[in-house]
Structure 1
Amino acid sequence: MNPSRTTRLAKVLALTSSIALLAAGCSSGESKDAVRPASAENPVTLAVTTFGTQGLDPLYKKYEQENPGVTIEATNIDTGGNALTDWKTKQAAGAGLPDVQAVEEGWLGQVMTVSDSFTDLNEYGAGEISGDWVDWKVKQATDANGRTIGYGTDIGPMGLCFNSKLFKDAGLPSDRDKVAELFGGDDATWEDFFSVGEDYVKKSGKAFYDQSGFVWNAMVNQLDEGYYKTDGTLNIDSNTELRQRWDQLSAAASKGLSSGQTQWDWGKGQAFVDGSFAVMPCPGWMLGNVKGQVEGAGGDAKDGWDFADVFPGGPANWGGAFLTVPSTSKHPAEAAKLAQYLTSATSQATSFEEAGAFPSNLEAQKSKAVTGENELTKFFNGAPIGEILGHRAEGVKAQFKGAEDSVIQEQVFGPATIAIDQGTDGEAAWNSALSTLQELDIK
């Protein structure tokens, strides 16, 4: 490491040691061994915590092979919500955080309130490569002081997963291009979506989509301003667009369009193969989940799942993540190097092949690994997934996420969407959500 970087690193460590939140867990400085690059003579172990299906696993072993002396200890938490709980617990304790921490877009707002407790990746060249990612992804992870605390992994442009066999059995178009036209193509609206759903329920006698929670999440993320205004104030009770969409969703649930599945369970995947529902909103990362659920239930591509280049209401983004380096890391330079590697064009292309995690890296978006055939395209009956997601990403705008955005989604409207699926009146469920919001004293 050159002297100027060593000097900057010392300043960063001196600053972070004064932060009260992390006082118990910060070291007074780094040892010379930690500052020296990892090698066979100077081995370094890096702990990495991720969540869900991010497609990073194959990259760890490759990185170890290419970087003698580095050992990666990877922990993957099942869902983003559980990963948030894990991070908050360790952040509050000021101890136990990994060297590289994956952060979900939905709780990035909480992370940014303590951005000083993360390493400024500009100290390790982030500013020099910021053009590698879509610009709004970089802006999301840059705080008011210009500190960039995360490298972008995936983004979540949305299309519609649908079961071509179930559509055909109901007398609806089953070809993906015609399905896109059925929903309205580039002019698709939520009115179109629910209208097709009512027709499907009438013809098949079965539910249309898996559960209201995922549909609601997509509807909220699509708005210019969701649960928060861009100035950081709450935007729920007086948000007429939000309420209008809630009324649409609750009306659809009352007509039997929702299958009322348990989120992230689906009867251990059985609902994907037994005809319980025929369509669901799918960001790129969800495609790997669908494939895994079908195969876990003993199914395969023959079960008929496909992917259409259409989404009600236009472009929308759901999810995506960042790789950060908590200031408690004893090896920030090595951790930053690993985070940069895992979010490079080549690595993001690999993650897409593994899990459908659509790259935020611009070069990766155009790679053959993304636009060509892979295991996901084979599972989804030859759908050109990379091309579809690239098209769905056009026009996506990053919605401002407030500090408690994920809490509102899961603890306020999560129970409310379950309630309408179980028959509760939409008005009553909305009022219950507002009451919960007050009880949690979210501001």
Structure 2
Amino acid sequence: MKLSRRTRGAVALAGAASIALLATACSTGGDQGSDGEDITLTITTFGTQGLDGLYEQFEADHPGVTIEATNIDTGGNALTDWQTKQAAGAGLPDVQAVEEGWLSKVMQVSDSFTDLRDYGAEDLSDQWVDWKVKQATDADGRIIGYGTDIGPEGLCYNGALFEAAGLPSDREGVAALFGGEDASWEKFFEVGKAYHDKTGKAFYDQSGFVWNSMVNQLPEGYYTADGELNVEGNEELEARWALLAQGAADGLSSAQTQWDWGGGKAFTDGSFATFVCPGWMLGVVKGQVEAGGGDATTGWDFADVFPGGAANWGGAFLTVPTTSKHPKEAAELAEFLTSAQSQVASFQAAGAFPSNLEAQTDSGVTGESELTAFFNDAPIGEILGSRAVGVVAQYKGPDDSVIQEQVFGPSIQELDSGKADGPTAWQHALDLLDELVEQ
């Protein structure tokens, strides 16, 4: 599944504060290459992972090591880049970021990634939430990735727009409005319809991200836990699709283009009032608002509530392909970037909520930051910690991202444009499933 494009806001946040925070970060030791020569380590990441401000610190702690970083705009494009280089057997970086949505593809060729147990992974594994480690462990017990962030979801909303519509605008009131601990998608769409009836405006930006969230929080999504396709005949998916389709028919979707939003203008001109927000998306929202000429006074806030309960969208891993000429140093870089101190810095830079347990309770996560100031002083770290309770990693099959983007993507656009009703668009998705995914 896609992650965010790099935004001006996320880049701006990854500055001096993150570097200062890491001034006391522990080094994994060593300098230059394992045989004493100056070396260059390459790393490929994607989206707004909040890692950019960390590379100079690693270089300072490892004289003779230079990092060359490549960031790809979305997780989907990063998948294409990795697959192309993997198939060619050349061009892979020393450290490769892998998105949760295509981890299963990586696991099919896990022997082409370094077993990080050779560099102490087993001694480090209790640093991260246990399910993150399990995701990166293959059938032979090889640990091929260190976890970066996880993606617990809360609800971003524009308090000024809510207030103008006669709805509660304070965070506690908004959480109660959607049902609090019993928040449901039915209630979400009900409130959305009331908002639309009052204002004549859309409630959320487009149906794709809503659908993604609806699917992710199910115990099993597009695949069963044992790896079988789980779309056709899946009554839970069909029921949620019906809700989504009705919401689009009721005018609740603003039909924005994913990852575009008119250069951020849609976040500032009242085009929509809510936005589904895993932690890493908060930096995207801030960047889009600022790109659209807005700031903290535009009214965006973050509530400790999510329809349907706990949900996880996204999260990544840092892996070391076996083609790396410097696996020891690459493993050290991956370890450094996923340490508690680094994950605190990543959170402050981009809202990437840590998978590292120590980092989750660090004051750099639970306290004030540029992000909390932007979101009306919302206690973002505390909210995300609350939203992470109950999250269970959903199994992602080898074509999970294909199904999300290429199978359901066109049908979602049909819903938003009004070109097809729910049943018709669902059938179109099944037709594409037969065409694009091996059964």
TM-score (norm 1): 0.91
- Give the match's secondary structure for 2:156: strand
For 1:157, the equivalent position in structure 2 comes to: 152
Partner residue of 1:429 out of 416, 425, 428: 425
- Contact 1:39/1:68 (<8 A) preserved: no
Decide which of 254, 261, 264 is 2:256's aligned counterpart: 261
Per the alignment, in what secondary structure is the counterpart of residue 261 of structure 2? coil
Q: Which whole-Å CA distance do the structure 2 matches of 1:266 and 1:416 have between them?
A: 20
8 Å contact kept, 2:32–2:63:
no
1:416 maps to 2:431: no
Q: Give the number of the structure whose alpha-carbon radius of gyration is greater.
A: 1
Query: In the alignment, what sits opposite 1:183?
Result: 178
In percent, how many aligned pairs have the same letter? Answer: 71
CA deviation after TM superposition for structure 1 residue 60, in Å: 0.3
Kept after mapping to 2: 8 A contact 1:317/1:398: yes
Whether 1:439 aligns to 2:431 is no
Q: Quote how far apart the aligned CAs of 1:42 are.
A: 1.6
**Local SS of the residue matching 1:321:** strand
For the Cα contact (< 8 Å) 1:162–1:306, is it kept in 2?
A: yes
1:146 maps to which residue?
Answer: 141
- Determine if contact 1:211/1:261 at 8 Å carries over to the other structure: yes
Q: 1 CA distance for matches of 2:405 and 2:143? A: 27
1:97 aligns with 2:102: no
Name the SS of the counterpart of 2:263 in structure 1. coil
CA distance in 1, matches of 2:36, 2:109: 36
TM superposition shift of 1:442: 2.6
Confirm whether residue 171 of structure 1 aligns to residue 149 of structure 2. Answer: no
CA contact (8 A) 2:31 2:64 kept: no
SS at match of 1:268: helix
Q: Name the aligned partner's letter for residue 165 of structure 1.
A: A
Residues 202 and 251, structure 2, Cα contact 8 Å, conserved in 1:
yes
Does the aligned pair in 1 maintain the 2:34–2:329 contact within 8 Å? no
C-alpha distance in structure 1 between counterparts of 2:341 and 2:410, whole Å: 40
Which amino acid in 2 is paired with 1:44?
I
Kindly tell me: are residues 440 and 313 of structure 1, through their superposed partners in 2, closer, same or farther at Cα, counting changes over 3 Å? same
1:188–1:295 Cα change, 3 Å = same
Distance in 2 of aligned mates of 1:332 and 1:313 = 42
User: Equivalent residue of 1:387, what SS?
Assistant: helix
Q: Say which SS state the counterpart of residue 96 (structure 1) adopts.
A: coil
Q: CA RMSD in A?
A: 1.2
* One-letter amino acid of the structure 2 residue matched with residue 292 of structure 1: G
Tell me the amino acid that sits aligned with residue 114 of structure 1: V
Does residue 319 of structure 2 align to residue 324 of structure 1?
A: yes
Question: Conserved in 2, the CA contact under 8 Å of 1:134 and 1:362?
Answer: yes
In structure 1, distance between residues paired with 2:296 and 2:436: 44
**CA offset at residue 66 of structure 1?**
1.1
SS in 2 for 1:59: helix
Does the CA contact (< 8 Å) of 1:40 and 1:69 recur in 2? no
Aligned residue number for residue 387 of structure 2: 392
In the TM superposition, residue 37 of structure 1 has moved relative to its aligned partner by: 5.3
Determine the C-alpha separation between the residues in 1 that align with 2:129 and 2:280: 17
Are the aligned partners of 1:207 and 1:258 in contact in 2 as well (CA < 8 Å)?
Answer: yes
Cα drift, residue 36 of structure 1: 8.9
TM-score normalised by L of structure 2: 0.92
Match in the other structure for 2:212: 217
Any gaps of 5 or more consecutive residues in structure 2?
Answer: 1-29
- Inter-partner Cα distance in structure 2 for 1:379 and 1:395: 27
What's the CA shift string for 1:330-355, capped at 9, x where partnerless?
Answer: 00000000000000000000000000
1:63 match: secondary structure = helix
Runs of 4 or more, structure 1, over 6 Å off, are: none
> Which residue in the other structure is 1:126 paired with?
121
* 2:239 is aligned with 1:239: no
SS of the residue aligned with 2:412?
Answer: helix
Tell me whether 1:336 sits opposite 2:320 in the alignment: no
- CA–CA distance in structure 1, aligned partners of residues 34 and 422 of structure 2: 60
Aligned partner of 1:19 in structure 2 is none
Are 1:74 and 2:61 counterparts?
Answer: no
CA contact (8 A) 1:132 1:362 kept: yes
Change in 2 beyond 3 A, CA 1:354/1:226 = same
Describe the superposition over 1:345-402 as per-residue Cα deviations: whole angstroms up to 9, x where unpaired.
Answer: 0000000000000000000000000000000000001000000000000000000000
Residue 260 of structure 1 and its aligned partner are, at CA, apart by 0.4
Q: CA deviation at 1:441?
A: 3.6
Q: Is the 8 A contact 2:113 2:321 kept in 1?
A: yes
- The Cα shift of 1:46 comes to 0.4
Cα deviation, residue 418, structure 1:
1.0
Mapped contact 1:44–1:69 kept (Cα < 8 A)? yes
Residue in structure 1 matched with residue 246 of structure 2 by the alignment: 251
Match of 2:101, SS state, is helix
